[in-house]
Amino acid sequence: MTRRRSSIQSHPLGQSSLSETQYEFMCFVQRQAGARDALYQADLDSGLPGDTVRVSMNVNDVGGDSEQIHAVEFLSLTGDGRWESVGRIEHSLKETQAIQGQQVEMESSFEIAGAGFRDAESANGEVDRVVQAEVKKLKGARLMSLPTRRARRDRTPRPLTCAA
């Protein structure tokens, strides 16, 4: 039996710089994902949905435009030994070079999916509060690295200057 997963999504924002929430989420993913993606076992008392966390990054470049996707997926082990997704936070950042390459236009949005979220496009402040709460739990959780098969990396996302 497949459970219906609800989601909330922020309105895409055209902006010239990242918000604090976007920056913090992207830095967390970049620190944890390493080259491309990573899998972690989470403490049972962490307050996170699921007992396993997958952190991943993906970059797509087309011409002078790029899209970076940073994601955290929450997984639970089923009775038959398979992982089932129980939630996800995904941040999409699209960067478009303006004519003559002088200015970069950014469009950014979050999508949060899993049990407990209603289907909706929400005010960005509401989505930011949910993301901030989950990042706080992730930072406070003891995440133990699990072995993964890492895919070959074609391009590394533009690194952020993240505080430790």
For residue range 132-154, list pLDDT tens digits in order.
999 999 999 999 998 866 554 45
| Pairing label, strands 83-97, 104-114 | antiparallel
> Do the domain assignments include residue 164?
no
pLDDT at 135: 93
Whether residue 45 is contained in a domain is answered as yes
Residue 156 lies in a domain: no
Give the ranges where the chain is alpha helix by DSSP (H). 20-33, 124-140
- Does 134 fall in a domain? yes
Give tens-digit pLDDT for 9-51. Answer: 665 556 667 889 999 999 999 999 876 789 999 988 888 888 8
pTM of the model: 0.79
Among candidates 152, 146, 162, 150, which has minimal Cα distance to 42? Answer: 146
Kindly state the helix (H) or strand (E) to which residue 152 belongs, with its residue range.
none
- Over residues 91-95, the mean pLDDT reads 89
Q: What's the rounded Cα separation, in Å, for the pair 128 and 19?
A: 9
Q: Which domain holds residue 44?
A: 6-146
Asked whether residue 105 is domain-assigned, the answer is: yes
Assess whether pLDDT exceeds 60 at residue 164: no
Domains held by the chain: number: 1
pLDDT class for 69, splitting at 50, 70, 90? very high
Is 155 among the domain residues?
A: no
Burial class (CB in 10 A: 0-12, 13-18, 19+), 106: middle
Q: Is residue 153 part of a domain?
A: no
How would DSSP label each residue in 56-74? Answer: EEEEEEETTEEEEEEEEEE
> Do the domain assignments include residue 137?
yes
Instruction: Report DSSP letters for 2-39, one per residue.
Output: PPP-EEEEEPPEEESS--HHHHHHHHHHHHHHTTSEEE
